[in-house]
Amino acid sequence: MTEPTGSRRQRAARRAGEFPPLPEPLPSPVLDSHTHLDITVSEAGVPGGGPADDPVAAAVAVAAGVGVDRLVQVGVDVGSSRWSADTADRYPAVLATVALHPNEAPRLADLDEALREIEALAARDRVRGIGETGMDFFRTGDEGRAAQEESFRAHIAIAKRYGKALVIHDREAHAEVLRILDDEGAPDTVVLHCFSGDAEFAAECARRGYLLSFAGTVTFASAGALREAAALTPIDQILVETDAPYLTPMPHRGRPNASYLIPLTVRSLAATTGADLDQLCAAVSATGDRVFGPW
């Protein structure tokens, strides 16, 4: 979950604005590897104008209509992690990850108790990842970094104990994230959510076998360095996400985001990487199944 600078203004725009129109469907299905359905429906409403009595079903249906047939719902604290796990149990197209967001860890009165609750959720079958966890030097200052690191190390251990993917939030903390992964020993599967590094960092992550998940930021005019990173990432190490309701891809930046807008990011990545659109869809889909599946 990454809110860019000016997030207060953008939250207001999401509340007041309408969801963008449906994009052209993809030629073959892909997944949204990282979304926050709970925040989307509470802040922005029902994607696609579906039935308000079941906004999750509406979001799933409108996404499937454009070729986004699987969603990974991501927890950021105990409450949203529990909601994510319960939602994955109810909807066959949804899987879950659970964690304490790195900016959440320093705020907790009892970090150990919260981690115990996350570990209990990690044991559930349709919870397939531990995240988003990691380090964030943008929103948390020096006083909170020890708690972030303690929490991150604990999440790494949980991911390894349960054999689940580790989904990392890394904001302005690239070197520290790699250092801690090296100290602890990385799990078999590591996903850099909303990848924000440059080409050098992308090459290092790819060398280690990590997955790089690209969000709508890769479509922004200012994101040349991010496109350079995507261009050198092996196609079988690429995932695509919305981080909805945040980071809406161009040309709809500032409006509410939802999983059905994934085709805009996929098409941008195809142009950036030079991959055939069908080839990219197939690779992203296969990687998603390998990391999180079976659905």
Q: What is the pLDDT, as a whole number, of residue 50?
A: 61
Q: What is the pLDDT, as a whole number, of residue 46?
A: 79
Percentage of residues in the chain having pLDDT higher than 90: 87
Q: What is the mean pLDDT of residues 77-95?
A: 98
Q: Where are the domains of the chain?
A: 26-292
Q: Which of 256, 286, 288 is nearest to 10 (CA)?
A: 256
Q: What is the pLDDT, as a whole number, of residue 138?
A: 79
Q: What is the pLDDT, as a whole number, of residue 246?
A: 96
Q: Which of 76, 81, 82, 122 is nearest to 101 (CA)?
A: 76
Ligand-binding annotation for 132, yes or no, is yes
Ligand-binding annotation for 113, yes or no, is no
Asked whether the bond before 251 is cis by omega within 30 degrees of 0, the reply is yes
Q: What is the pLDDT, as a whole number, of residue 17?
A: 63
Q: Residue 13 pLDDT > 90, yes or no?
A: no
7-21, 183-197, 235-249, 279-293: which has the minimum mean pLDDT? Answer: 7-21
Confidence of residue 45 (pLDDT cuts 50, 70, 90): confident
Q: Residue 68 pLDDT > 90, yes or no?
A: yes
Q: What is the pLDDT, as a whole number, of residue 2?
A: 60
Q: In DSSP terms, which residues pair with 149 in a beta bridge? A: none
For residues 149 and 179, is the Cβ–Cβ distance under 8 A?
Answer: no
Ligand-binding annotation for 117, yes or no, is no
Token readout for 186 is: 């990385």
Asked whether the bond before 187 is cis by omega within 30 degrees of 0, the reply is no
More confident residue, 12 or 133: 133
Q: Residue 59 pLDDT > 50, yes or no?
A: yes
Q: What is the pLDDT, as a whole number, of residue 159?
A: 98
Question: Hey, what long-range contacts does 156-160 have (CB within 8 A, 24 or more apart)?
Answer: 156/130, 156/180, 156/181, 156/184, 156/185, 156/186, 156/187, 157/184, 158/115, 158/118, 158/119, 158/122, 158/130, 159/122, 159/129, 159/130, 159/187, 160/185, 160/187
Cα 44 from Cα 39, distance rounded (Å) = 8
For residues 47 and 259, is the Cβ–Cβ distance under 8 A?
Answer: yes
Cα 289 from Cα 216, distance rounded (Å) = 21
The CATH-assigned architecture of domain 26-292 is Alpha-Beta Barrel (3.20)
For residues 249 and 268, is the Cβ–Cβ distance under 8 A?
Answer: yes
pLDDT per residue as tens digits for the range 142-175: 788 999 999 999 999 999 999 999 999 999 999 9
Q: Which of 183, 152, 224, 228 is nearest to 212 (CA)?
A: 228
Q: Residue 10 pLDDT > 60, yes or no?
A: no
Confidence of residue 51 (pLDDT cuts 50, 70, 90): low
Cα 39 from Cα 153, distance rounded (Å) = 26
Cα 162 from Cα 125, distance rounded (Å) = 10
Q: What is the pLDDT, as a whole number, of residue 142?
A: 77
Q: Residue 110 pLDDT > 90, yes or no?
A: yes
For residues 168 and 177, is the Cβ–Cβ distance under 8 A?
Answer: yes
Q: What is the pLDDT, as a whole number, of residue 250?
A: 98
Q: What is the pLDDT, as a whole number, of residue 11?
A: 54
pLDDT averaged over every residue in the chain: 93
Confidence of residue 233 (pLDDT cuts 50, 70, 90): very high
Ligand-binding annotation for 193, yes or no, is yes
Q: What is the pLDDT, as a whole number, of residue 3?
A: 52
Ligand-binding annotation for 36, yes or no, is yes
Token readout for 250 is: 């161009």
Backbone φ, ψ for residue 19 (5° rounding): -65, 145
Q: Residue 9 pLDDT > 50, yes or no?
A: no
